[in-house]
Amino acid sequence: MLKKTIMMKNIIFFIPFLMIISCKQKKEVASQLVEDPHSFSKPSMAVVEHLNLDIKVNFEDQQISGKAVWTINNKAKSNEIIFDDSKLNISKITLGAEEKETTFNYGEEKEYIGRALKVAITPETKLITIYYTTNKDASALQWLNPHQTAGKMRPYLFTQSESIAARSWIPCQDSPGIRFTYNATVTVPNDLLALMSAENPEVKNTTGVYHFKQIHPIPSYLLALAVGDIAFKAVDERTGVYAEPSVLAKAVYEFADMGKMVHAAEKLYGPYRWGRYDLLVLPPSFPFGGMENPNLTFITPTVIAGDRSLVSIISHELAHSWSGNLVTNATWNDFWLNEGFTNYFERRIDEEIFGKQEAEMQEEFAKKALEDAVKEMGDTSKDIYLKTEYAGRNPDDGTNDIAYEKGYFFLRTIEAAVGRPNFDAFLRGYFDSHAFQSVSTEQFLTYLNENLIKGNADLEKKIRVNDWVYGPGIPSNIAYAKGLWAKGGKFSKIDSLASAWNKGKLTDTSILTKEIGTSNEKKFFINMLPQEMTVKQMTDLDRQFNFTGSNNTDIQLAWYTLAIRNQYMVADKRIEDYLIENGRMWHIIPLYKEMMKIPGGLKRAKEIYKKARPNYHPMTYQAIDKLLD
């Protein structure tokens, strides 16, 4: 997922291993599964291989009901198979095509991870059918009332299975180390369209019954479903956009470069293996940035700025088609393998599409975010390590900048040590040799040693693998581009301009807009402004840049924070509109927090919130209810 910009979690990756084709002895088999503290299943005994799902979506009761038919491999000829379950109501379980009823029982309920569903099987069992209904509080199911959609006429449902919520809507072996293919039949009200993380329909039909097929083995956290008043438009022969009808044209314009991005990604690390790559633009109340569901990335509509300035979110979600979806973290303790690799790949795609300087600016923001995160968590935090320990906790708590940005800079540091061509060849080989498998941190490090470092003591010293993976904070050998801050570099120029402007030393302010053009440059400039500014200063800048009227949510968030702090009332109405129309959690909560710091601000925050709350997602309004209480 895309963190912050995304949600609680924002998403992850891999496990077993295939080999290097030329070297048969190296073939390690998928049975080499890594123990997952967030799943009760015992895949070394009996493991799922294929799902045939047949469900009905009921908006009145906010429930999904139907059956999950699992094809299994009873490797150990066991008398039991274990699934993960979170509050599902299971009415019956049968074995075989003849559907002979069998017995089942539950393990003890555990915080965060639910309970084990233990099903009696025979050594010969290949097929298990589980009849079930979801609970009203199913954590993966987000039911939106019409008010929370762009069209305001029809309800909407979307799922968010990552990290461990798939078990709340489908009984499954809910571990990123276990993969399976799936088919599904989904029945929905006949004025709505259903979509999944699979081959998808492009138009509604009159029956409301839709069929899906995912031919590649995926882990359970990539199971996804969306149901709503949704239309489709192709961008090119293999990419396209799904959105509510009122949003579709704008979305297609905004994401016109999708096809180019897929080509850029393929040029770097090999073929896109999933068939189509489409986007689903969620309703405004979608609380996150994006989620990399296979074939169909879910994204927030807040990235539709009208000028294509926020489309790098696509680079991130697209990159997950390799790092995460193709090669997946074995457990959530290896989350950095999903997100660190994806942030690296994302910036490489952005460099291809938007140029080196844009990618370097993103790296600069990333470095600042990482330093802030480490400072905020403190030296003694157990979460400032790449390899983490989330046993006994919700892995969603691991959604911080460490997995994303420390992971990124570790790879960036390897790149600097071995040179980009070598590192690219290594990554290409890594994705190819581990395609559709899951990988643990240790398995990755073994691969790194055998295929790149190869016992070279100089390289070992330069990279310091152990410091990065098993040490706290930020190792001192961190590599990053320094050109932006060098003499004549973009950031040092903007920094001096901001400083000169603040001291009133800039006689001709039109130089500001000449030097500061892209949204990353503007964001950087706003960040360089003093915390305290006069209304006159803010008015002058608005005259130059029209920050108050921007449609770019990154710039809006940065500028509106300053506007609130400095009681720049000109922006008040725009801030109100922004908070009412935008439901992306981490783009709105900071503004409410800022309001609470100024005299009379809490009252104003509550006034706006009263109007905005009906548009927000439950996860969002529960957080703000607490904040403003």
Binding site for Zn ion (CB under 5 A): 1, 11, 339, 342
CA dist., res. 615 & res. 583, Å (int): 7
- Output the smallest distance, CB 276 to Zn ion, in A: 20
- Output the smallest distance, CB 329 to Zn ion, in A: 11
CA-nearest of 24, 20, 44 to 32 is 44
- Output the smallest distance, CB 11 to Zn ion, in A: 4
- Output the smallest distance, CB 291 to Zn ion, in A: 8
* 338 versus 566: smaller Cβ distance to Zn ion: 338
Three-class HEC string of 260-299: HHHHHHHHHHCCCCCCCEEEEECCCCCCCCEECCCCEEEE
* 274 versus 491: smaller Cβ distance to Zn ion: 274
* 69 versus 140: smaller Cβ distance to Zn ion: 140
* 68 versus 403: smaller Cβ distance to Zn ion: 403
The partner residues of 115 in beta bridges, in order of sequence, read 85
Helix/strand/coil for 438: strand
* 317 versus 521: smaller Cβ distance to Zn ion: 317
* 345 versus 621: smaller Cβ distance to Zn ion: 345
Dihedral, 556, 562, 566, 568 alpha carbons, nearest 10: -20
DSSP one-letter string for 607-619: HHHHHHGGGS-HH
CA dist., res. 419 & res. 410, Å (int): 14
Dihedral, 463, 317, 176, 371 alpha carbons, nearest 10: 40
- Using DSSP bridges, classify how beta strands 47-58 and 63-73 pair: parallel, antiparallel or unpaired: antiparallel
Q: Per the structure block, which two tokens stand in for 73?
A: 């491999």
CA-nearest of 321, 319, 324 to 346 is 319
Cβ-contact 327, 431 below 8 angstroms:
yes
182 is catalytic: no
- Output the smallest distance, CB 88 to Zn ion, in A: 27
* Residue 73 phi, psi (nearest 5): -115, 105
- Output the smallest distance, CB 415 to Zn ion, in A: 19
**Residue tagged active-site, from 254, 292, 317, 346:** 317
Cβ-contact 33, 41 below 8 angstroms:
no
Cα–Cα–Cα angle for 220, 251, 527, nearest 5°?
90
**Residue tagged active-site, from 210, 242, 269, 404:** 404
CA dist., res. 349 & res. 371, Å (int): 24
* 337 versus 465: smaller Cβ distance to Zn ion: 337
163: cis peptide before it, omega within 30°?
A: yes
* Residue 84 phi, psi (nearest 5): -95, 145
- Output the smallest distance, CB 353 to Zn ion, in A: 18
Enclosing H/E stretch for 236? none
In the bound complex, which residue of the shown chain has the CB atom lying closest to Zn ion? 11
578 is catalytic: no
Residues designated catalytic: 317, 404
